[in-house]
Structure 1
């Protein structure tokens, strides 16, 4: 599979048209695959709720745009924040 501008534009367009302003594109073949690999298109204004992955890791590779990634303690207090921008 080639991740190119055409694919990124397609998923971004779907995200912009979604009420949640985000869309994912699965790169794994099966929903129960041990490695969940996917593209997430997040449009301005979308909100990702605080959540935890207790038995898995989550890796961000930002291809375009920019995002703040926040980490929280168990009581919901923000503990760290990273601004990601592939152009800086």
Structure 2
């Protein structure tokens, strides 16, 4: 299989038709292949929720376009509701709030000789698409939602 301009153009057409503004192409050769390898066409405006892969690093190579891989750290804060608790607090009275603080932004753009990156295992991350892009993604292990 060859990945040429015509192939990428088809992915872009499919991404435009997809409400998520992205389209992946699975590169696994069989259902028994437990790796994750795919091409992903991403259009500006697509929203990729901040997420992480707890058991694997992720390799991202940009074939065309321009995007930022954004790495975050998780910030956890607690608020205690002590109203009416004269004898101590119950675990149900603790409010846990999770936010994310950006710690690194990695520009991927082959026209600028910025080809790819490795996202560390367990790192919270997302992608912000600047120009329509196609990336190659690889991770260990079978896909889990």
TM-score of the aligned structures, taking structure 1 as reference length: 0.91
Task: Count residues in correspondence.
Answer: 88
Match of 2:137 in 1: none
Match of 2:103 in 1: 79
Structure 2 unpaired stretches of 5+: 76-99, 113-145
CA-based RMSD of the aligned residues comes to 1.3
Q: CA deviation at 1:29?
A: 2.8
* Higher relative strand content: 2
TM-score of the aligned structures, taking structure 2 as reference length: 0.57
Cα displacement string for residues 24-69 of structure 1 (whole angstroms, at most 9, x for unaligned residues): 0000034562221100000111111100001122111101110011
Q: How does 1:41-80 map to 2 (within 5 A)?
A: 41-75=41-75, 76-80=100-104
Change (3 A) 1:8 1:57: same
* In 2: Cα distance, 1:70 partner to 1:47 partner: 13
Structure 1 unpaired stretches of 5+: none
